[in-house]
Structure 1
Amino acid sequence: MGKNGKRIGLALSGGGYRAAAYHLGTLRALHKMDLLEKVDVISSVSGGSIIAAFYLLHKDEPFEQIEQSFRKCLAHSSLWGAILNLAIVFLLPALLGIFVSGWCLFLYLLLYWGFYLIPSSKWIALYYDRLFFGKKKLKDLPDSPIAGINSTNVATGRLFTFSKQDVGGYDYKENGRSSIKGEEIPISFAVASSTCVPSIFSPTQIAKRYYEEGKYKDTLLVDGGLYDNQGAYILTESTNKLYRVENVVISDAGNTRPDIKGVRNTICLMLQSIEILMNRIRTIQIRTNIYNRTKKNSAYYAYVSLLWSEWNSMVDRFMDNIKKENVPELVLSAHRISLDDVIAFREKNDQNAKFRIEECFKKSIGWQVLLDSAPSKELHEIALSVGTNLTPLSKRKIDALSAHSEWLTELQIKTYLPHLLH
């Protein structure tokens, strides 16, 4: 909880291992700023769910130890089990019969029983257990911060959230209580549900044994990024008070750079199409959360994006947000910026007022010291080159991703959430 008595939420976006490594830097920055222990809720989707669950399981350990352990995990792939399963399946035609008859039967089985024939998400969950979670269950998560591991429920068209305190969502509640007994659900299953990209991994389903008697409802869970690619929805828009917060740090590892060089088949084309869809969702969320403040959505945001690199323009962005009335009065006051200067700048474009605001802001955040320690363009290019997948990452790539987010997280919190520090 912040110094203003309001709850703090951390949203970790999707993006495979790239996202997991990127968010490592965000956690490191929060730790160094003495804010990590004050976070009340961590909401995650897709690749962000990997590091969210891992951190929460080890939160009582020294942060440096958590980071080193997680870095070692990122050096291993989570895909080999699914690849092996796929290879075995494609040998079926040879086992079922020779050539035409075998392939016809295989295609029939694949079309009608594909999820059972290729349960790739089950294999991913097994590897998640081996690499990250050690067969821990939702009941093993800490009471605080509250975890919100998000997936998209195709059966309802809504978000489906796993946490220690509550599993499901609006569609699975009776008298305000979930009909799903989530304590025994493996964390690996929750994270697999959050990361299973459609067309690549099979969807997951909550087994009947986890429901209260007579209250079973169908689920069909896929990647949480299809509904909310930043993990911010339950923190600011959900009606569930368990997750609602007033201060939000969004760590967004999305990369909107299209890469058509690798699009050589239908699966790659589908992946690229899904990436475009998720980028569109991200754009809408940014507009809604940051640039359209309402009584319903009046949270304070610090937005951290992998796509940002023009550090010298960050002060100009802040001034532009003041001009457009996107900087709340609480934030201006925390920077000790004169409201008279703000009015003069907005209404009369008073350049003297603008200069005073800029100088006050730079002094408040220690701008020159921050600028001198900014990550290089070379590091940023390395970070942007990392794809959206679950293949091993080199130390160089992890360093590049985490350095970018660590620096930008510090800057954005000092800029847009200064009331948490002062």
Structure 2
Amino acid sequence: MASQHEKFSLIDEAKIYLRGAAYNNDKILALYQSLESSNQFGYAAEVVNKYLGELEEQGEQITDEAYQVLVRNIYKDTSLSSYFKYDKAINLLRSDCSLDTSTSCETVGLAGAIYKYKWKFDHQIQNLYTSLGFYKKGYNLWTQNIVTNADTDLGYTAINYAYISELIVAQFLEHFASFDAVSEETILRYNNAQTARQKIVEAYIKDIDAEKPEFKTAVKSDWQYATLAEAFFGLRKYKQALFFIEKFIAKQTINWKLKSFAQQLNEIAHFQNLEKDNSGTSTNTFITEALDKEMQHSCLRALDSKRYENSSAVGFVEKSVQKKGLALSGGGFRASLFQIGVLAALAEIDELRDVEIISCVSGGSIIGAYYYLHLKRLLEEKTESDITKDDYINIVKEIEVDFLKAVQTNLRMQIFTNVFDNLKMIFSSKYSRSYRLGSLYEKHFYLPLFNKDKTEKRTDLFMSDLMIKPKDAPDFSISQQNWERTNKIPQLILNATCLNTGHNWQFTASWMGEPPTYLSKDFDVKQRLRRMYYKDAPEGYTAFPIGNAVAASSCVPVMFEPLVLKKLYPKIDVELVDGGVHDNQGIASILEQECDCVYICDGSSQLPDNSKTTANEFSLFYRVDNVVQERVRETQLLDLKARKYSSIITDLKIMHLKKELPQEPLSWINCDDEERKILQHEIKKDDDLLDYGIMKNVQKLLSEVRTDLDSFNDIEAYALMYSGYRQTMNAFKKDVKDYKNNWNFLQVEEYCTEPDKKQPLIDQLNISCSVPFKLVRKYKALQWFLKALGLAALLFAIKFVIDKWDEDISIKYGAVAFVIATFVLGLFSKFLAKLLDINGYVKKILLLITLATVGWLVFNA
């Protein structure tokens, strides 16, 4: 496999050619082959496409083989949306390779592969049967060709025809075997698979029962080893399969070929185990007596030799073949704390190691980046084979302590504590409250964690510092090697909103910008701001601070100014605001990455009922904005449920703070029509436990806790964590009694579950929805003291006015004239109205100076 340096060199060479450099045919051939071998299918496709265009301009005949290369690189390109690339590839085969009438095994084999992967993407049964049809056509062509010695396919379509046939068998067993006998059609498909495999080994091997089989003729391609290994494995001849597995691995250095072979063999192992469990009355239906689990695992271990070469483990551990995505929503520190509980549960049930995508928004970005730094430390200090479930649990245990301490430093109130930063915010157009917020994130959250136990302390951190280099694979590539790992290295995506285009803006460890997929050219005609690797970014952006990325994701409009990126694109100043403006749940990035399993951790605020008339225009605007946000949230979650129902995604878990808190429908005045009971959800009483084990009144108050960057005390924080923990355990159908980890947040368990012990938590949560005067609301004595103080001040003012009642006040005519003139001009002058407006420049500066001065005095006195 190419190193990172070699990969970037190839990409640079491809860019030179694509910009117009003249390359000869041999150089172009070598370039696209090297790109393809390095998993750079996108650049390989562009190089081949440009080359074919040049040939067409020159009037040269283009062969089917050239179009086949283009098609192969298009459908394998992970940077393209699966909604687009598979249809594009099939259309090219139809238009340029005469797919419908083709007698080329390569052409119909490509079509079979495209529909196979299309089925794996959307799970629509018609795609699976279309794949079977093309592979069957290729299989029939192959059987004819081996008789006439015209075999160019080397059994590729035959082995995949066998695989798809058995896959359909497995689909029947998974979905119908529990209430229906194994059908004749199912048995026929299984027999077809075994017949095809038998034909393959007989076509190429002298003695198929020999432990070290010999080829009848010279080996024409390394793929033959993989084909024969899969054929023998499917026939349950594991010794012969192991022989060819080792041959293939020894000769194969191209990662995508190893991945494709290994994943298909693992799936066949799953089929075999499924067939054994559903063998029915006839034990010979699926030749289950030949299933040797020990030898089966030996074959799979050989495929995964890197994982086991330095391991003392003797068993076999299955790796997840599904792509799992975790979405951490916005909602300030409330969301962050709720999400710590979710992480705790995922660690306990050993799900965290399988997560490949972490999509974060606002408060979710704060905790997401923090968790990622912890994970980076673990994966860089321990080898793959030494990492256990306990390591993930220990990470979250550290987070529940240290993250809460950082939250309790009260970031919101620290924004104006530094006099020099205050002056920069007032007088510099390049520094705002959002940048100040980013520096506070780094100071209190990320730098202490990154510098922990290090002799050389860093004073700043950049997004590229999040790049994980595993201890046992320093040149690791997520796109090429993550499939090999049991402990996946997730891709962290921090989502912001670009005000210039309205699109989602993403920060990752290696690039930033707007993603190329899931922007519909039919409906969205706005420009897309192309994403860039940091190393290719303009001056000033090659090292982008982590704090600024998190601040961009969490700078709530109005409360914070947009984070402005100047001189990044021509003639445009990029303005970034809170990612929740575009997608507060982080779902868009999860879908863009095409995850099979989706876990949504939603700690965001949801629209409350409003029984009163909207007070004024500002309140009306605020309410309307909340309605729009709520509608977007509902639409996204309904879309996810629809994808689950249609099997586009295979698993969906949604944890949110209003879960199981429905309200009864409200009938009109004088209504005599009874509400239909069949439509009603069970409405539990306040002290009743919800399905996930928290009292209803406690959960309702938790759902009303403030969503900002305010400080949280222990009892508030632990209650939020406990809610996330219990919801997640319930979603995965796990009994918390089976897990004995001593989480700090379990200190509030009795407050959340026992009615006679709930009051301390209830009292705290009743004031947690408020931002100002929480201290006053908490202590009755303080309330009475302030009331007495206010009453005394009022009495003093009344006495002062009474004492001075008959005295004159001297006011100059000039002052009266100034007030009147200002009022009159304000009615007719837009300029003066703006000058007097709080958002006007002069008052804005005065306000900032006041806040900055008071803030510095309060926190530095």
- SS of the equivalent of 2:496 reads strand
Alignment of structure 1 residues 9-408 onto 2, 5 Å: 9-59=325-375, 60=378, 62-63=394-395, 64-82=397-415, 116=429, 119-134=432-447, 135-143=460-468, 144-169=489-514, 170=516, 171-173=528-530, 180=537, 184-208=543-567, 218-236=573-591, 238=592, 243-258=593-608, 274-293=625-644, 297-298=648-649, 300-309=651-660, 374-408=693-727
Separation (CA, whole Å) in 2 of partners of 1:245 and 1:53 = 20
Assess, with a 3 A threshold, how the Cα gap between structure 1 residues 252 and 114 changes in structure 2: closer, same or farther: farther
TM-score with structure 1 length normalisation?
Answer: 0.67
Assess, with a 3 A threshold, how the Cα gap between structure 1 residues 264 and 53 changes in structure 2: closer, same or farther: farther
| Counterpart residue identity of residue 492, structure 2 | A
Shift in Å at residue 78 of structure 1?
A: 1.8
Separation (CA, whole Å) in 2 of partners of 1:84 and 1:372 = 45
- SS of the equivalent of 2:411 reads coil
Asked if the contact 1:76–1:391 (Cα under 8 Å) also holds between the matched residues in 2, the reply is no
Assess, with a 3 A threshold, how the Cα gap between structure 1 residues 275 and 120 changes in structure 2: closer, same or farther: farther
Assess, with a 3 A threshold, how the Cα gap between structure 1 residues 393 and 299 changes in structure 2: closer, same or farther: same
Asked if the contact 2:497–2:582 (Cα under 8 Å) also holds between the matched residues in 1, the reply is yes
Separation (CA, whole Å) in 1 of partners of 2:438 and 2:599 = 28
Separation (CA, whole Å) in 2 of partners of 1:283 and 1:205 = 30
Assess, with a 3 A threshold, how the Cα gap between structure 1 residues 304 and 3 changes in structure 2: closer, same or farther: farther
Assess, with a 3 A threshold, how the Cα gap between structure 1 residues 409 and 35 changes in structure 2: closer, same or farther: same
State the Cα deviation string for residues 359-415 of structure 1 (Å, max 9, x = none). Answer: xxxxxxxxxxx9897122343134223111100011111111111111111222349
Separation (CA, whole Å) in 2 of partners of 1:299 and 1:115 = 51
Separation (CA, whole Å) in 2 of partners of 1:27 and 1:405 = 8
Separation (CA, whole Å) in 2 of partners of 1:234 and 1:281 = 15
Shift in Å at residue 116 of structure 1?
A: 3.5
Task: Kindly tell me the number of residue pairs found equivalent between the two proteins.
Answer: 325
Percentage identity across aligned positions?
29
Asked if the contact 1:121–1:201 (Cα under 8 Å) also holds between the matched residues in 2, the reply is yes
Asked if the contact 1:12–1:43 (Cα under 8 Å) also holds between the matched residues in 2, the reply is yes
| Counterpart residue identity of residue 586, structure 2 | G
| Counterpart residue identity of residue 635, structure 2 | I
Structure of higher RCO (CA pairs closer than 8 Å, 6+ residues apart) = 1
Q: Which runs of 5+ in 2 are unaligned?
A: 1-262, 264-317, 379-390, 448-459, 469-488, 517-527, 663-688, 735-861
Tell me whether 4-13 or 132-141 shows the greater mean CA deviation.
Answer: 132-141
Asked if the contact 1:199–1:270 (Cα under 8 Å) also holds between the matched residues in 2, the reply is no
Tell me whether 248-257 or 40-49 shows the greater mean CA deviation.
Answer: 248-257
Separation (CA, whole Å) in 2 of partners of 1:132 and 1:269 = 37
Separation (CA, whole Å) in 2 of partners of 1:180 and 1:391 = 35
Shift in Å at residue 125 of structure 1?
A: 1.0
Shift in Å at residue 277 of structure 1?
A: 3.1
State the Cα deviation string for residues 30-70 of structure 1 (Å, max 9, x = none). Answer: 01011112211110111110000011011227321122111
Tell me whether 166-175 or 380-389 shows the greater mean CA deviation.
Answer: 166-175
Assess, with a 3 A threshold, how the Cα gap between structure 1 residues 175 and 222 changes in structure 2: closer, same or farther: closer
Assess, with a 3 A threshold, how the Cα gap between structure 1 residues 32 and 3 changes in structure 2: closer, same or farther: same
Larger radius of gyration: 2
Shift in Å at residue 244 of structure 1?
A: 3.0
State the Cα deviation string for residues 209-239 of structure 1 (Å, max 9, x = none). Answer: xx5xx86853110110111110111111x2x
Asked if the contact 2:361–2:580 (Cα under 8 Å) also holds between the matched residues in 1, the reply is yes
Separation (CA, whole Å) in 1 of partners of 2:535 and 2:730 = 39
Separation (CA, whole Å) in 1 of partners of 2:618 and 2:435 = 20
Assess, with a 3 A threshold, how the Cα gap between structure 1 residues 271 and 77 changes in structure 2: closer, same or farther: farther
Shift in Å at residue 156 of structure 1?
A: 1.4
Tell me whether 182-191 or 296-305 shows the greater mean CA deviation.
Answer: 296-305
CA RMSD of superposed structures (Å): 3.8
Shift in Å at residue 296 of structure 1?
A: 10
Separation (CA, whole Å) in 1 of partners of 2:653 and 2:730 = 9
Asked if the contact 1:249–1:303 (Cα under 8 Å) also holds between the matched residues in 2, the reply is yes
Shift in Å at residue 115 of structure 1?
A: 9.4
Asked if the contact 2:566–2:574 (Cα under 8 Å) also holds between the matched residues in 1, the reply is no
Assess, with a 3 A threshold, how the Cα gap between structure 1 residues 265 and 187 changes in structure 2: closer, same or farther: farther
Structure in which a larger fraction of residues adopt helix: 2
- Equivalent residue number for residue 290 of structure 2: none
TM-score with structure 2 length normalisation?
Answer: 0.34
